Amino acid sequence: MNTPNLVAKLWNLCNLLRDDGVTYHEYITELTYLVFLKMVEETGQDELLPADNTWTDLEHQNSASRLEFYKKMLVDLGNHGSQITQAIYNNAHTVIRKPATLDKLVTEIDKLDWYSARQEGLGDMYEGLLEINASEKKSGAGQYFTPRVLINAMVTLMQPTLDDVIVDPTAGTGGFLISAHHRICATNDVDALDEAAYDRYQHKTFFGMEFVPDTRRLALMNLMLHDIAIDDHHAGILFGDTLSNEGKQLPKASLLLANPPFGTKQGGGLPTRDDLLFYSGNKQLAFLHLMYHIMLKPGGRAAVVLPDNVLFEAGTGAQIRRDLMEKCNLHTILRLPTGIFYAAGVKTNVLFFSKPEDPTQDKGNTKHVWVYDLRTNMPSFGKRTPFTEKHLEPFEAVFGSDPNGQSPRQEGEWSFNADDIAVDLDATEENQGVNDDRLAKSRWRCFSREWIRDTKGGSLDISWLKDKDSVDAADLPAPEVLAGEAMSELVQALGELDGLMRALGAEDEADGQRVLVQEMMGRGE
């Protein structure tokens, strides 16, 4: 049984839980409790669990006692055993109400081909479950799940190394950290490291923070199944609010990877950290400021997913963007297509920036911003049209091999029929003096800091390609013609409604409405 089949079978067990009144959001947590026990048995790590609290102990209970045993078991696991066990089962409780439901889950989980799952990677199996859960709109989990295709591309471009301290201040289920781990293992022989180097890799490389307890639980499980150590209180994904002083537990990063949550702080409040220059209730702006101002080491680099409002919001937003471009080199913006996140209609970007090695060099670091438009005239992505690696390959090619955006670059990239797109010349005519019509239709352009300041008023919401489905105001009929057409349609609709009311025997009401309309039109007595 391959991993996709195993994932599908596990997810199908959701039907059992739904029959017991368990929601999508609760399902993945409930399954984590059971799968962790099964994983410990399959990998022979019973030392992680307190005595008499193993999968075998649960399996050997009879139907009458199993559910009560399981409830007590969750409490014991949250208070005893290894630190990872206690972290995963912290404040755990089951939402299963029917003994028969638990019996069926235990039986069906035990039937699965766990040998094949181990061969292919238990981590891949678990991430498959998280992805399905995120894709279910009813689960509400999409906000914690960044598409793996995008994560992997961002990590590839940032080129994590064994020397990095990698931090995700909004860790979610740990996708960025796990992808960075895979990348490092693919480019280094981690198993050949000496004891000190391997200990540093496991305990001083990957850090994150997550504010939602159940999401952190999933993240810890995810990291464990991908062989990333989280066996103390200072490694792995910590519990807390990064925008509060709790976030000071995180180390300074040489590589920041993040997709901050959308929206405003709960209740519209401001961050409670005491080391910020600017305070905003917009969580994405607050996280952006925190990351470049506090969290990123001198010489560090970052790739961060942010919604469009961060690019154009006035007031504090404008101050933060200006401060970012002063202190860091904001070298690249990738305008992402819509539909790749599970929250419908969200328009997002990836901002790539780096901090100078010299901490006193905190003025004028951004000279030019390169923008790649992967949004205009792209397909409407979703389950039927998946967003894949091929859609990011042209961007990766023009980005170059330098993770700090310093590779030689040249404007001009016409993938996905960009060459056939109409162009807004006003947005491109002042761009290093380039007026080439073909270049103006490129998806890859460079804009000077002066142009951004003088032409865009500091806004980074830069677009120049024209959507083929948009309507040009110059091609519309005159306003009086449009108004006349609207009036004609309205009169026709009123006539049809009048006829319907009379056919239904409501002549008096129809007469009353006709008089009212005449008065409104100035034709009354």
pLDDT band at 459 (very low <50, low <70, confident <90, very high): very high
Query: Residues near 83 by Cβ (< 8 Å), separated by ≥ 6?
Result: 230, 231, 232, 233
Per-residue pLDDT at 142:
47
pLDDT band at 492 (very low <50, low <70, confident <90, very high): confident
Spatial separation of the C-alpha atoms in residues 83 and 77, rounded to whole Å: 10
Per-residue pLDDT at 524:
45
Buried b (16+ CB within 10 A) or exposed e, 258-274: bbbebebbeeeebbebe
Per-residue pLDDT at 119:
60
The 10s digit of each residue's pLDDT in 343-397 is 566 789 999 999 999 999 999 999 999 999 999 989 888 778 889 999 999 999 9
pLDDT band at 525 (very low <50, low <70, confident <90, very high): very low
Over 60: is that where the pLDDT of 430 sits?
Answer: no
Q: Are 130 and 222 in contact (CB under 8 A)?
A: yes
- Give the containing element (helix H, strand E) for 502: helix 479-503
pLDDT band at 65 (very low <50, low <70, confident <90, very high): very high
- Higher pLDDT pick, 8 / 429: 8
pTM metric for this prediction:
0.81
The 10s digit of each residue's pLDDT in 170-183 is 998 899 999 999 99
Over 50: is that where the pLDDT of 472 sits?
Answer: no
Per-residue pLDDT at 18:
75
Per-residue pLDDT at 55:
94
Q: Which CATH architecture has domain 146-456?
A: 3-Layer(aba) Sandwich (3.40)
Residue 216 CB-density burial (10 A; 0-12 exposed, 13-18 middle, 19+ buried): buried
What is the mean predicted confidence (pLDDT) over 260-279? 79
**Residue in 358, 278, 360 with CA at minimum distance from that of residue 321:** 278
Mode of pairing for the β-strands spanning 253-258 and 236-239: unpaired
Domain ranges across the chain: 3-138, 146-456, 477-520
Per-residue pLDDT at 11:
80
What is the mean predicted confidence (pLDDT) over 98-112? 88
Fold of 3-138: Ferritin (1.20.1260)
Buried b (16+ CB within 10 A) or exposed e, 150-172: bbbbbbbbbbbbeebbbbbbbbb
Per-residue pLDDT at 2:
65
Q: Would the CA dihedral through 241, 333, 158, 145 be positive or negative?
A: positive
